[in-house]
Amino acid sequence: MKSIHSLLQFTTVLPLGKPQDLEYFARRSYLYPLAGYVIGALVALPVYFIANQTIAAAVAVALLILITGAHHFDGLLDFGDGLMAHGDKEKRIRALTDRNVGAGAIALGITVTLLLFAGLQEVASIACALIIGEVCAKFSMAFLTAYGTPFHEGMQMYLHQFAQQGFPVISFLLCLPLFLMPVAPVKIFAALILMTICPVILLVISKRLFGGVNGDVVGASNEITRALVIIGIALL
């Protein structure tokens, strides 16, 4: 329970009492999807009672950012700046780690948010899509935490040192209860495929552009994977 407590304190701003040592979660980063179930359910509950699909989608996006403290969204913005920067790896890393927000950050932030909002408007059940999207997003973080070689000191380096090669397999198994949801199995299969493809692509891009992965890339993976999974559910 201490590991789950530490996980939720790391991924949310929920008032969960006395802070737990992050090492409890770091040694079990395969638990990431459990945070997805919690966050997805907390957002889905109030949204379920909003009849207007457009308003429900907007409220869902706002609640996701609020509950997570925009922690991963901040990583998405930083990744956008690093992605759009010109020059060698050093220049891209400076853009990625710079606290200032540039055009790349704004462009990627708007793009991913629009995709998420559009997908939520088109799904048959926003509540189900939120839970599926959030669980899959957290799998992508577990994947990159285990397989993303850090290029400098920081949160990724700390978590990566405790991660084992088999952690993503356990995380994948924790995603399988999604098949119990009242959603067509083909949609769940598509979500599982997308949640695997997204971090793999980001891993390849990050190694090429930055020489590795940092916490911003992992956070960006959460936001991008969530949006693409929900888009995939909406299109099927």
Q: Is 221 within 8 Å of 76 (Cβ atoms)?
A: no
Mean pLDDT of the chain: 95
Assess whether pLDDT exceeds 90 at residue 23.
yes
pLDDT-derived band of residue 21, with 50, 70 and 90 as boundaries? Answer: very high
Q: Are 39 and 14 in contact (CB under 8 A)?
A: no
Which two tokens mark 99? 């606290």
What is the percentage of the chain residues whose pLDDT exceeds 90?
A: 90
Q: Structure pTM?
A: 0.95
Q: Quick one: tokens of 85?
A: 């920067």
Give helix then strand counts, H and E, for the chain: 12, 0
- Give mean pLDDT, residues 28-38: 97
Which is nearest to 39 in space by CA: 76, 74, 80, 4?
4
pLDDT at 56 over 90: yes
Backbone phi, then psi, for 150, in 5-degree steps?
A: -65, 140
Q: Has residue 62 got a pLDDT over 90? A: yes
Query: For 27-56, what is the mean pLDDT?
Result: 97
Residue 17 has pLDDT above 90, yes or no: no
Q: How far apart are alpha carbons 156 and 145 in whole angstroms? A: 7
Chain mean position to CA 216? 11
39: helix, strand or coil? helix
Model confidence band, residue 180 (pLDDT cutoffs 50, 70, 90): very high
The pLDDT tens digits of the residues spanning 118-174 come to: 999 999 999 999 999 999 999 999 999 999 999 988 999 999 999 999 999 999 999
| pLDDT over 90 (residue 117) | yes
